[in-house]
Chain A
Amino acid sequence: MSVDIDTVKRVARLARIKVSDQEAERMTGELNGILQFVEQLGEVDISGVEPMTSVVEQTMKKRRDEVTDGSKAEDIVANAPVSEDNFFVVPKVVE
């Protein structure tokens, strides 16, 4: 399988990365190189094989559903590019 420039632009949109036409063109070639490389997996007989979910055989650890941390609003917004009264500030999303 290979991708064309429109697919690259669509995927870039899904990934929320702006790409120029020139970048999209360069990336089309690079991504096709990678896709061609992974194509060899087609040679492997995977019938009846379970997909891996965890490399270590272990039942997922669960903890009690209780509050163990919190009241750190200031810490949480401390690195935000823009914040106000412990809220993250983003461009207007509702008209």
Chain B
Amino acid sequence: MTDLTRLTIAEAREKLKAREISSSELTGAFLDAIETVNPHLNAYIKVTPEKAREMAKASDERLAKGEGGDLEGIPLGIKDLFATEGVHTQACSHILDGFKPRYESTVTANLWADGAVMLGKLNMDEFAMGSSNETSYYGPVVNPWRKERSNQALVPGGSSGGSAAAVAARLCMGATATDTGGSIRQPAAFTGTVGIKPTYGRCSRWGTVAFASSLDQAGPIAHTVRDSAILLKSMASVDPKDTTSVDRPVPNYEDAIGRSVKGLKIGIPAEYRVEGMPGAVDELWQRGIEWLKDAGAEIVDLSLPHTKYALPAYYIVAPAEASSNLARYDGVRYGLRESGKDIIDMYENTRAAGFGDEVKRRVLIGTYVLSAGYYDAYYLKAQKVRTLIKRDFDLAWESGVDAILTPTTPDAAFAPGEITDPVTMYLNDVFTVTVNMAGLPGISVPAGLSETGLPLGLQLIGKPFEEETLFQLGQVIEDAAGRFQPQEWWAS
């Protein structure tokens, strides 16, 4: 029998509909794989086998009657940032110990309404703050990829490291993820998977643990461009519970796949060619340009002059918003409480014990830049720079550019413990963070391998709410580059 975990969502959907396979079989195959492989990778921090089997059974009943939604019977993994009713939801932080929400996030509710099956909750950097999945309270995630002829463990990227690793190792058909500065696209690039961060406002943030509210967006990580289009269609919605959710109907993204890219104008921004970038990344970028050109797209040079200021502005805006959002963890309403001699002492002890180092750093930076006397010099200035970053993109669109092609990351995956300086770690997001600062959609598509055999991704940046163009172009890259699978070292 073929290994059911090797199917794409698009393939499984057909087989389920034709009753060639059942969701119970498919879900069982993934639960078995998780049991064997997860101890090596630590991608799942909570597996929910009973719930998965129950949901699969319900899907099979609907499929038997010829009913069912767009994702009927498809087993997915859910990042620990999404509230799932009655199930572990801790943003992989100690401070949310034992938290089981009495409500469901809009994004996951949309998935279940379309028939998807939940396999469990996925590991991530604590409160989505990190680029290597090393800040999780539940320990690091191991990248399913290794360098050629090497046994050394590598990071899967972050913050959605569990989501990316679980997809790459075929421990789910697709996963939910979130992206505040690159947290979907960077791990997707590090694991040879496809990840899309949609336009700000496309997916509801309701029921997603907040990090930086003006930047946070949910999106999927999947095996193929088509699978990511299928997932995004279900995740996205107009939601009265999130005032920043935008009132626009969700298109059928899959329709864009296979559409000709002839005549589309693709911008190549000079500022994304950074010093010290490995040759393989630059070569891959050139190859991407050739692929799109061969498919009929027009390539134009572009300047986005404020690119280098996106990351420093981000490290003011994101911590400022985080320090406000994380004020709610006070040992009173949920999670951890440490005792103290009075209420302030209780707050201080709880937050000292409950937050990890990276979270503390960002809360302190945020508190500092918002404090009396510093607000104008830091926060207000960063928000003005943000206006300029967005203006760079607006000018590009006005000049007729339809999408922008860049590398996703400056380099391939690195080893745990290799980067200890916070600022060096932040530089991982140098190509992705501009997109969050401007609220644009961005997709990372695996496009080739580094000199040492590790996956690298190309990023396509689109106009607001033109995710369809990204799927259209992403498919061209996928068709030319092929798909990338890690060696299954854990099986030997």
Contacts and interface: CB of A to CB of B under 8 A. Distances in A.
Contacts of B332: 80-81, 88, 90
A14 B361 CA distance: 14
Interface in A29-69: 30-31, 33-35, 37-41, 43-44, 46, 49-56, 58, 60-61, 63
Interface residues of B, number: 74
Contact of B246 (A27, A30, A58): A58
A15 B464 CA distance: 36
A81 B422 contact: no
Nearest to A77: B333
A34 B361 contact: yes
Contacts of B377: 1
B40 interface: no
Interface of B is mostly: helix
Given A52-B390, A81-B331, A15 B323 contact: yes
B349 interface: yes
Given A34-B315, A34-B423, A51-B380, A11 B351 contact: no
Given A15-B367, A80-B333, A90-B346, A37 B388 contact: no
A15 B309 CA distance: 27
Nearest to A88: B332
Contacts, number: 164
B426 interface: yes
Contacts of B355: 17
Contacts of B466: none
B375 to A, nearest CB: 11
Interface stretch (B96-104, B259-267, B271-279): B96-104
Given A3-B368, A51-B387, A38 B378 contact: yes
B452 to A, nearest CB: 29
Given A34-B423, A82-B337, 11 more contacts: A15-B351, A16-B330, A31-B364, A37-B311, A43-B309, A50-B384, A55-B438, A61-B247, A79-B102, A81-B334, A91-B343
16 contacts: A7-B368, A11-B368, A17-B363, A18-B352, A37-B426, A38-B378, A40-B308, A41-B313, A41-B385, A52-B384, A55-B200, A56-B246, A60-B243, A81-B332, A90-B343, A91-B342
Interface of A: 1, 3, 7-8, 11-19, 27, 30-31, 33-35, 37-41, 43-44, 46, 49-56, 58, 60-61, 63, 72, 75, 78-82, 88, 90-93
Query: Which 10 A-B residue pairs are closest in the complex by CB-CB distance?
Result: A55-B439, A51-B383, A81-B337, A79-B334, A18-B348, A18-B352, A75-B102, A46-B384, A38-B312, A52-B386
